[in-house]
Structure 1
Amino acid sequence: MAFCRHPNSPKRNDESLQIQLTTRTCGRLRHRLLAQSFPAQPLRAKHSGGTAPNQLEPAKPEALAPFVETIPGTAVKFEMIPLPAGTVTLTHLEANNGNTAIVIKPIWIGKTEVTWDEYDAYALRPGKDASSKIGELDAIAQPSKPYGAPDRGFGHKGYAALSMTFYAAQEYCRWLSAKTGKKYRLPTEAEWEYACRAGATGKLSQEKLEQQAWYWDNAEGKTHPVAAKQANAWGLHDMLGNAAEWVIGHDGKALVAGGSFKSKTDLLDYSLRAKQAPFWNMTDPQMPKSKWWLSDATFVGFRVVCEP
């Protein structure tokens, strides 16, 4: 390209202009080369049986870590244990619809059953019996007084809370969620069985049952302090025996799982469930029966899960 120069203009101006144009041209060329080398769309690794060299690997989600929850306004603490993602086969559903393989997402579950220490913080909290305001949340119901001693004289501090209805267990979870700002709830039966199995298949051996569970042969007709027996492979105590535990069934209805101190060995099984029976509340003189307490279900408790 030729450049026109005024006769009186110094030559160095032409040279300066040429340098500027050359610099701009080089800049544009450099930009094009970079664009070709690094396209705007991100590279995606192609799926294959394994990860080939130089393929990009997707970022792995961070694993959940155990944590200790302190109920605000109290000195009461409890531990939550993470469950890894996986699948569990619910064999008792096989005869119904064959939908037995359930995917479990990462979640936390209580290391032990909910104790009286924890439940009392809810049931005996000061204020009106009917409700309590927690921040801007709706009023949450408070249990009525039970008919008789709900712990049945088995023990209180450090013992599994007993004899509450499915509704009462759910209301406790609502209250705990409001107090802590986390999402606590009852486990589904699939989550519960997955946690109980802790990677195991088949029934526990008699030796393992003796090490991990309070049941008919060793409990002496009562519950015992939580975590007095060995934990399972994932660090969870009393998944079988001690207190049976409320879970949310596959159909959304209430079930209990795990057996209790009243169960014989053939009823201490990962997959066995029970529904509430009329005799669980037979001696309650109220009509209608209490929606909070089961006067004759001295073997029913629960544990909580917490969503990430």
Structure 2
Amino acid sequence: MVQAAGSAFRDGEGLPELVPIPAGRFRMGSPDEEPGHEDNEYPLREVCIARPFALGRFPVTFAEWDRFAAATGAPRPPDQGWGRGDRPVVNLSWDDAQGFAAWLRAETGRAYRLPSEAEWEYAARAGTETPWHWGETVGPGDANCLVDGSAWGGRGTTPVGQFPPNGFGLHDMLGNVWEWVEDCWNEFFLGAPCDGTAWTRGDCGRRVLRGGSWQDVPRQIRAAARNRNGAGFRCNDYGLRIARDL
């Protein structure tokens, strides 16, 4: 059972906007009959998100990252010529994302972190069980991905918030950029935590990404779709969305 999310807030000027996500239960993964289903989405299982948490309303933007870089001397990732500002930051590794979370903790005294894979999927679904939170098919007005009729897909990122939010008020959960989560990579969900916490056992040299991107076809941006790469690997469609304990 999933209740409505709360009103968005920020912990300071120029910091990411957050949405409170309520506690609840959901089914994580995908059934065999779902079009695009992959074996690594097995088994479909119930997960309890025992405590509410906050999640970024949008992926972290270049404006937010560049503020962090100016304060800490962290690298300013290239924007591929697409522009900075309110576009989602790309060319980030999992290690880079951890550095951003650590800076937010130091700046605010709040428990910023990457979401767990379970928290991410719970938030992306927002109470739905369809492949995408808006339904059973993908059209050009749903997300930035490779879909017929899209003015953006395959050409790069879009500024955040160009597509309708899900039921929790979160934008760009599916498409635009892949988002790093906390978990180590495991080929299946057998043995995974059922309480919504991150799975910190398995292949921890590789970490999980969720959400799909501007250069992916619709089946790759399903709520259940999973990706992974080395913790130090950067790519022009890898970004992040920040979480915080409440």
Q: TM-score, with normalisation over the residues of structure 1?
A: 0.61
Whether 1:76 and 2:76 are equivalent positions in the alignment is: no
Tell me by how many angstroms 1:77 deviates: 4.1
1:169-203 deviation per Cα after TM superposition (whole angstroms, max 9, x unaligned): 01100110110111110000100000100111121
* Alpha carbons of structure 1 residues 96 and 113: separation in structure 2 relative to 1, 3 Å: closer
Whether 1:215 and 2:145 are equivalent positions in the alignment is: yes
Decide which structure has greater strand share. Answer: 2
Structure 2: distance between partners of 1:97 and 1:112:
28
Paired residues of 1:66 and 1:79 also in contact (CA < 8 A): no
- In the alignment, what sits opposite 1:86? 24
* Alpha carbons of structure 1 residues 85 and 276: separation in structure 2 relative to 1, 3 Å: same
AA aligned opposite 2:212: G
Identity %: 29
* Alpha carbons of structure 1 residues 70 and 117: separation in structure 2 relative to 1, 3 Å: farther
* Alpha carbons of structure 1 residues 272 and 95: separation in structure 2 relative to 1, 3 Å: closer
The one of 114, 117, 142 aligned to 2:63: 117
SS in 1 for 2:141: helix
- In the alignment, what sits opposite 1:136? none
Structure 2: which 5+ runs fail to align? 31-37, 184-197
Tell me by how many angstroms 1:259 deviates: 0.4
Number of aligned positions between the proteins: 210
- In the alignment, what sits opposite 2:166? 232
Tell me by how many angstroms 1:97 deviates: 8.9
Structure 2: distance between partners of 1:151 and 1:95:
31
* Alpha carbons of structure 1 residues 203 and 117: separation in structure 2 relative to 1, 3 Å: same
* Alpha carbons of structure 1 residues 64 and 267: separation in structure 2 relative to 1, 3 Å: closer
Structure 2: distance between partners of 1:99 and 1:202:
13
Structure 1: distance between partners of 2:220 and 2:106:
36
Paired residues of 2:145 and 2:213 also in contact (CA < 8 A): yes
Paired residues of 1:212 and 1:232 also in contact (CA < 8 A): no
Paired residues of 2:41 and 2:224 also in contact (CA < 8 A): no
- In the alignment, what sits opposite 2:213? 260
The one of 170, 179, 191 aligned to 1:245: 179
Whether 1:195 and 2:123 are equivalent positions in the alignment is: yes
Structure 1: distance between partners of 2:42 and 2:210:
21
The one of 152, 156, 171 aligned to 2:84: 156
AA aligned opposite 2:141: Q
Structure 2: distance between partners of 1:225 and 1:96:
29
AA aligned opposite 1:171: G
- In the alignment, what sits opposite 1:302? 240
Tell me by how many angstroms 1:88 deviates: 2.4
* Alpha carbons of structure 1 residues 121 and 160: separation in structure 2 relative to 1, 3 Å: same
Q: TM-score, with normalisation over the residues of structure 2?
A: 0.76
Whether 1:66 and 2:7 are equivalent positions in the alignment is: yes
Tell me by how many angstroms 1:91 deviates: 2.6
Please give the residue correspondences for 1:259-298 in structure 2 after superposition, counting only pairs within 5 Å.
Answer: 259-276=212-229, 291=232, 294=234, 297-298=235-236
Root-mean-square deviation (Å)? 2.8
Moved more, 197-206 or 258-267: 197-206
- In the alignment, what sits opposite 1:103? 48
Structure 1: distance between partners of 2:136 and 2:26:
23
Moved more, 203-212 or 188-197: 203-212
Q: Indicate the structure whose relative CO is greater, using CA pairs within 8 Å and at least 6 residues apart.
A: 2
1:238-261 deviation per Cα after TM superposition (whole angstroms, max 9, x unaligned): 000001100122532411111000
AA aligned opposite 2:218: T
Determine which structure has more spread, i.e. the larger CA radius of gyration.
1
